């Protein structure tokens, strides 16, 4: 980059990607600006008194589009958080929800803070105060705006936020639906913690199930034959690597965190690595792998699939020419900049976009929100009934064939679905449907030329948003 050039911001990058898809739509003048604009953004600043000092924390919550309510999106606690990040991430949420048919608008927010510098007691005070600021301005509520975890937040913060909401609104019988990604004992959903990583796995399974997709990307064999590098070893990166290794038997050859990365051609045991990181706080010293302190160099090593699952802008114009993967599955939000996207496309590298790949989190958040409003777990009414119907079926088959079914078949027919089975089935179905729609759209829409997956995904989202907004006379 020359000295006078301004670096492309995250918001610019998202905006250019949307423009590329809008090109294929015929819209009334000004409609595009209306869809891209952020409906509202709030900035709050609040002081917290510690024993020896007072600190002021700035925080944001952006609502990109409230054509559907509530709006939905995570809360990020990070030293780099700012309004631009909130707006860019909120916009991605709007498009993502449309692509996977979740009836929410998009929102996102966060605090500028390094959570590692504070103990649990301090974090609770800061989080509750931030929640209070947002709740009193209606930026958190089950009907209007529902946060979830993101970078730097987890079930713990969601529990504090829910409790703060309940204290302010004891009359609201739906208070538990004010946040998703809560602990299961507080109304959270089994399967939400790992949902985004699970969704990455289902996205890749859908890609490999469609026979031509892998071949078009220059990949041979099935998902189990692929060598994968994962950048980011937090909630999303770890779970994606874990499921791809344990269920699909893919080989994880590289793992990168903020303080370094490891590589091993023969594959890395990600669960053992995760245990090691939990014990020692670093990947350095983990046996049988090569450690590199500048971990991001490992993204440029040989592999078939690269899964960026850390932060935005990880693949930019400087390193895009060096990426060796044939397929990039964007588990993070915005990990490939617009410029890098064009370089990678020119090099024939296929990209599965964030607005599809990491949608698992919001999909299962939707299930959690619906469950909280229903005040009943999924499957409670029908499980025993399904079991007895299964038992009748087994008896009928055994009587008519005069053969006893093997135990495993009998058990799979007789067993009624648990809530976690239903969550996985709903997530898998959603990811398959979204992939098929994207795959078809990219073939049909461009007069002979095949669209890239990202443009196809945005095209699908924009069509749905345009329809909803014009029905509401919002464009
Ligand atoms: P996390 O905080 O649990 O993990 C982040 C990981 O990225 C950590 O391992 C950290 O070491 C690593 N990292 C940070 N900076 C890095 C750098 N410069 N180089 C290499 N590694 C770096 O966060 P998460 O919840 O796993 O989220 C990761 C991404 O996925 C974010 O973009 C987030 O917006 C997106 N996402 C998360 C969810 C969710 O449910 N948590 C849902 C959708 C999308």
- Note whether 234 and 368 are same-domain residues: yes
Summarised one tens digit per residue, pLDDT across range 291-328 is 999 999 999 999 999 999 999 999 999 999 999 999 99
Q: Whose CA is nearest to atom 36 of ligand 1?
A: 332
Q: Is residue 253 over pLDDT 60? A: yes
Catalytic site residue from 108, 182, 251, 257: 108
* 403's tokens: 């053969």
Indicate the residue among 123, 153, 186 that finishes a domain.
Answer: 186
Half-sphere exposure of 222 (CA within 13 A, CB side): 8
Judge if the beta carbon of residue 232 lies within 6 A of ligand 1.
yes
Judge if the beta carbon of residue 245 lies within 6 A of ligand 1.
no
- Note whether 155 and 194 are same-domain residues: no
Distance CA 383, CA 366 (A): 22
- Give domain status of residue 15, yes or no: no
Measured in angstroms, how far is the CA atom of residue 215 from the centroid of ligand 1?
30
Span 380-406, average pLDDT: 94
DSSP H or E run through 7: none
DSSP H or E run through 401: helix 383-401
- Give domain status of residue 146, yes or no: yes
- Note whether 433 and 472 are same-domain residues: yes
Measured in angstroms, how far is the CA atom of residue 332 from the centroid of ligand 1?
6
Q: What integer pLDDT is reported at residue 8 of this predicted model?
A: 81
* 180's tokens: 């998703």
Contact partners, residue 471, CB within 8 Å, separation at least 6: none
Measured in angstroms, how far is the CA atom of residue 151 from the centroid of ligand 1?
5
Q: What integer pLDDT is reported at residue 303 of this predicted model?
A: 98
Q: Whose CA is nearest to atom 34 of ligand 1?
A: 333
Q: What integer pLDDT is reported at residue 6 of this predicted model?
A: 62
- 114, 231, 309: which to mutate for ligand 1, most atoms within 8 A of CB? 309
End-to-end Cα distance, the chain: 38
- Give domain status of residue 315, yes or no: yes
- Note whether 361 and 230 are same-domain residues: yes
Nearest atom within ligand 1 for CA of residue 334: 32
Judge if the beta carbon of residue 196 lies within 6 A of ligand 1.
yes
| Number of domains within the chain | 2
- Note whether 178 and 232 are same-domain residues: no
- Note whether 148 and 66 are same-domain residues: yes
Q: Is the pTM of this model over 0.85?
A: yes
- 93, 97, 196, 240: which to mutate for ligand 1, most atoms within 8 A of CB? 196
Q: Is residue 347 over pLDDT 80? A: yes
Whole-Å CA distances, 302 to 100, 265, 305, 324, 325? 32, 9, 9, 6, 7
* Average model confidence (pLDDT) across the chain: 95
Q: What integer pLDDT is reported at residue 121 of this predicted model?
A: 96
Least confident of 15-24, 263-272, 312-321: 15-24
Indicate the residue among 164, 186, 208 that finishes a domain.
Answer: 186
- Give domain status of residue 404, yes or no: no
- Note whether 197 and 143 are same-domain residues: no
Nearest atom within ligand 1 for CA of residue 335: 32
Q: What integer pLDDT is reported at residue 409 of this predicted model?
A: 93
Work out the pLDDT band at 29, boundaries 50, 70, 90: confident
Q: What integer pLDDT is reported at residue 470 of this predicted model?
A: 83
Judge if the beta carbon of residue 233 lies within 6 A of ligand 1.
yes
- CATH code: domain of residue 272: 3.40.50.720
- Give domain status of residue 21, yes or no: no
Indicate the residue among 142, 157, 186 that finishes a domain.
Answer: 186
Summarised one tens digit per residue, pLDDT across range 416-464 is 899 999 999 999 999 999 999 999 999 876 566 789 999 999 999 999 9
Contact 274, 233 (CB under 8 A): yes
Judge if the beta carbon of residue 332 lies within 6 A of ligand 1.
yes
Q: Which one, of 128, 134, 129, 136, lies nearest residue 108 by Cα?
A: 134
- Note whether 318 and 460 are same-domain residues: yes
Q: Whose CA is nearest to atom 2 of ligand 1?
A: 151
Q: Whose CA is nearest to atom 37 of ligand 1?
A: 150
Contact 149, 235 (CB under 8 A): yes
Q: Whose CA is nearest to atom 41 of ligand 1?
A: 150
Catalytic annotation present for 108:
yes
Measured in angstroms, how far is the CA atom of residue 195 from the centroid of ligand 1?
14
- Give domain status of residue 30, yes or no: no
For residue 312, what are the domain limits? 189-379+417-475
Q: Is residue 150 over pLDDT 60? A: yes
Percent above pLDDT 90 for the chain: 91
Summarised one tens digit per residue, pLDDT across range 82-134 is 999 999 999 999 999 999 999 999 999 999 999 999 999 999 999 999 999 99
Measured in angstroms, how far is the CA atom of residue 436 from the centroid of ligand 1?
27
- Give domain status of residue 163, yes or no: yes
Measured in angstroms, how far is the CA atom of residue 308 from the centroid of ligand 1?
9
Judge if the beta carbon of residue 219 lies within 6 A of ligand 1.
no
* 406's tokens: 């093997």
Judge if the beta carbon of residue 295 lies within 6 A of ligand 1.
yes
| β pairing state of 54-65 and 105-112 | antiparallel
Distance CA 207, CA 337 (A): 22
- Note whether 277 and 298 are same-domain residues: yes
Summarised one tens digit per residue, pLDDT across range 186-239 is 999 999 999 999 999 999 999 999 989 999 999 999 999 999 999 999 999 999
Distance CA 74, CA 459 (A): 24
Contact partners, residue 136, CB within 8 Å, separation at least 6: 168
- 310, 313, 319: which to mutate for ligand 1, most atoms within 8 A of CB? 310
- Note whether 239 and 361 are same-domain residues: yes
Work out the pLDDT band at 5, boundaries 50, 70, 90: low
Distance CA 265, CA 290 (A): 10
Distance, C-alpha 221 to centroid of its chain = 26
Summarised one tens digit per residue, pLDDT across range 359-368 is 999 999 999 9
Q: Whose CA is nearest to atom 23 of ligand 1?
A: 151
Measured in angstroms, how far is the CA atom of residue 197 from the centroid of ligand 1?
11
Whole-Å CA distances, 178 to 159, 164, 175? 10, 10, 5
- Note whether 229 and 126 are same-domain residues: no
Measured in angstroms, how far is the CA atom of residue 51 from the centroid of ligand 1?
32
- Note whether 214 and 313 are same-domain residues: yes
- Give domain status of residue 384, yes or no: no
Hunting for tokens 């990426």 — which residue is that? Answer: 323
């Amino acid at each position: 980059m020359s000295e006078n050039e301004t670096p492309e911001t995250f918001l610019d990058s998202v905006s250019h990607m949307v423009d590329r898809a809008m090109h294929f739509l015929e819209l009334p003048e000004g409609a595009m600006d209306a869809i891209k604009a952020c409906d509202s953004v709030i900035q709050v600043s609040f002081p917290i008194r510690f024993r020896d000092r007072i600190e002021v924390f700035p925080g944001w919550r952006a609502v990109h589009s409230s054509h559907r309510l509530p709006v939905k999106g995570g809360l990020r606690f990070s030293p780099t958080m700012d309004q631009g990040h909130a707006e860019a991430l909120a916009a991605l949420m709007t498009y993502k929800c449309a692509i996977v048919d979740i009836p929410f608008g998009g929102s996102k927010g966060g605090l500028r803070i390094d959570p590692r510098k504070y103990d649990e007691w301090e974090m609770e005070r800061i989080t509750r105060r931030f929640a209070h600021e947002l709740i009193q301005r209606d930026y958190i509520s089950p009907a209007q705006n529902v946060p979830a975890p993101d970078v730097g937040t987890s079930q713990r913060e969601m529990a504090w936020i829910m409790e703060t909401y309940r204290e302010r609104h004891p009359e609201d019988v739906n208070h538990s639906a004010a946040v998703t990604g809560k602990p299961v004992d507080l109304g959270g959903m089994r399967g939400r913690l790992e949902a985004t990583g699970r969704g990455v796995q289902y996205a890749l399974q859908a890609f490999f199930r469609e026979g031509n997709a892998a071949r078009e990307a220059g990949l041979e064999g099935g998902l189990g034959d692929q060598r994968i590098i994962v950048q980011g070893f937090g909630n999303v990166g770890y779970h994606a690597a874990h499921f791809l290794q344990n269920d699909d038997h893919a080989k994880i050859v590289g793992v990168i965190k903020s303080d370094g990365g490891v590589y091993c051609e023969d594959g890395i045991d990600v669960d053992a690595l995760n245990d090691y990181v939990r014990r020692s706080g670093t990947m350095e010293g983990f046996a049988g792998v090569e450690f590199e302190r500048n971990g991001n160099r490992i993204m440029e090593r040989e592999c078939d699939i690269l899964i960026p699952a850390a932060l935005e802008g990880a693949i930019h114009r400087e390193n895009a020419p060096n990426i060796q993967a044939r397929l990039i599955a964007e588990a993070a939000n915005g990990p490939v900049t617009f410029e890098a996207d064009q370089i990678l496309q020119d090099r024939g590298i296929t990209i599965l976009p964030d607005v599809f790949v990491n949608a698992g989190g919001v999909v299962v958040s939707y299930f959690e929100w619906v469950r909280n409003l229903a005040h009943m777990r999924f499957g409670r009414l029908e499980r025993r009934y399904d079991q007895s119907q299964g038992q009748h079926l087994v008896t009928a088959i055994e009587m008519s064939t005069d053969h006893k079914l093997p135990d495993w078949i009998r058990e799979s027919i007789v067993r009624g679905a648990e809530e976690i089975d239903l969550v996985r089935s709903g997530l898998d179905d959603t990811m398959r449907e979204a992939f098929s729609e994207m795959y078809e759209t990219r073939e049909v829409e461009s007069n002979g030329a095949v669209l890239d997956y990202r443009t196809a995904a945005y095209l699908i989202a924009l069509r749905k948003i345009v329809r909803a907004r014009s029905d509401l006379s919002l464009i």
